Amino acid sequence: MEQVRLFAAIILSIIVFAGWNFLFPPQKPTEVPKEPQLEQPVAQPGEVATPATDIKPVTVVEENITVVESPLYRIEFTNRGAAVKRFELKKYKETLDGDAYKNVIPAEVDRTFTLGFAKNSVQGASDALFEADQQNVVVGDNGASLSYRWVSTNGVEVVRNFHFTADSYAISSTVTLRNGSSLALDGTLAFGLVSTVDGGRSYGFQGPSGFVDGHLENVKAKKIKDKNLYSGTVEWVAQQSRYFMTAVIPKEITGSSMALAEKNGVITAAMNLPTGMIQPGMEKSFEVDILAAPKSYRMLKKLDSSVHKAVNFGWFDIIAKPCLSLMNFIHDHVVANYGIAIILLTILIKLIFWPLGNKSYTSMHEMKKLQPIMGKLREKYADDKQRMNQEVMALYKTYKVNPMSGCLPLVVQMPIFFALYRMLYSAVELRHAPFFGWITDLSAPDRLFHFGFSIPMMVQPTGIPVLTLLMGATMFLQQKMSPSTGDPTQAKMMMMMPLVMTVIFVNFSSGLVLYWLVNNVLSISQQYYITKKLS
């Protein structure tokens, strides 16, 4: 039957889509070197510089750390390059059972939010020892600030200021260049984000990205060597993981560009801004926002930038984002449990497509009544496939049955499924979100009774995947309720599908498995209702 072939093709495509990264995960890097230096061709000068004030020397001889505490984060700044060593988010834990805050900077990375210069006379800033104006900063209701200062050997002063607010992940930063040298400055100011290539199993994009000429550019590590410079109108540059991101968002984007470099598993993404011509005795400032935050679409949408577009669900973005908003609305205003919110969201979507489902199951019921006649036709014309197909089509015409009427509702609903798949996999709201009982993290596979030993094809911790087994059982029941194809090969393949899907889903997040399980239960109920009504 056509709908069975379609269903088989859809399931096989899901297997290929979801199983490839599981079976062939990328190799973890074995060595993490110091981040590479980025250079970029000089852009056109921007605004006019202003006269500089007197420049005092800096006498710092050792590296030191300044800690910034706010209600949302804890940051460890280093005076070496006026950069960030740790950025911990207080609303998120590193692990479900631990007390440590989530550090969005990979452990292998020494520093990020770096500051560098290319093709001008300000050399050595990225490794220079800056002078900090304080060692501990507490961010209250009125905000707080931190300032770093350094003077190059030829008399150029670099001042990097940070301003923090208590209720936002965005940090305002200003870099001021005071030219105390005898030569004009004209080059590129680079704000660097350093991360590592994801070495684990990944089903969504993770890596450097930018918003260039109104389009999101997600760049895979292996593609950097093909193109490492993105010019045009670059609104922001970011490093993304599954749930979190770091970003640099300039206030002035004229002449901006994104430069990328990858070496031995270390990726540097830089927001490059042209300094323009700064004559001796003049100064010029550059304003950016730096961001280290969860990839929460509704939170990022509140920022005065396009950085919310980093939360992207690919081809299904137009469907996935409304579903995400609806799930959050249910959680915030109906029931404060994301597991129940997923169930209610699934029910709402099922109700929307209920008429299409009725049409599909009605067609399946009519096809099932024709199975005895079709079986005789296949037996009678076993040696003449062309004649058999002609007789089958004549049978459909006689009984006014359209075999495609059962396929169309499935085709219409598949974009919804894939959109929910992408959304439920990537939604930071589900990270460490409990459901009930043993399901304490909807972003992790469900495991009951941890075994303490490894099992092939099952990621740690191992245990009984209750939701996944129930999902497989409901798929098997659906197969039994569906009309037979009459083709023994297809029948065997379809009966194997529940087992294959159970094996694949055993390592998927429990939130995603919960959605599929509830959808199966609703489909079985609808099919049973239609079949009983027509009988």
Structural domain spans, the chain: 46-295, 320-534
pLDDT in tens, 154-184: 899 999 999 999 999 999 999 999 999 888 9
**How does residue 21 score in pLDDT terms, banded at 50, 70 and 90?**
very low
Assess whether pLDDT exceeds 90 at residue 310: yes
Contact in structure between 311 and 303 (CB atoms under 8 Å) = no
Helix 488-505 and helix 466-481, axial crossing angle in degrees, nearest 10: 160
Helix 408-426 and helix 2-23, axial crossing angle in degrees, nearest 10: 20
Report the SS3 class of residue 325. Answer: helix
One-character DSSP codes across 161-200: EEEE-TT-SEEEEEEEEEE-SSS-B--EEEEEEEEE---S
Contact in structure between 97 and 299 (CB atoms under 8 Å) = no
Contact in structure between 458 and 507 (CB atoms under 8 Å) = yes
Helix 354-369 and helix 408-426, axial crossing angle in degrees, nearest 10: 130
How many of the other CB atoms lie within 10 Å of CB of 63? 12
**How does residue 14 score in pLDDT terms, banded at 50, 70 and 90?**
low
pLDDT in tens, 67-105: 999 999 999 999 999 999 999 999 999 999 889 999 999
pTM comes to 0.82
Assess whether pLDDT exceeds 80 at residue 51: no
CATH number of 46-295: 2.70.98.90
User: Is residue 392 within a helix (H) or strand (E), and if so which, with residue range?
Assistant: helix 385-398
- Rounded Cα distance between 11 and 17, Å, is 10
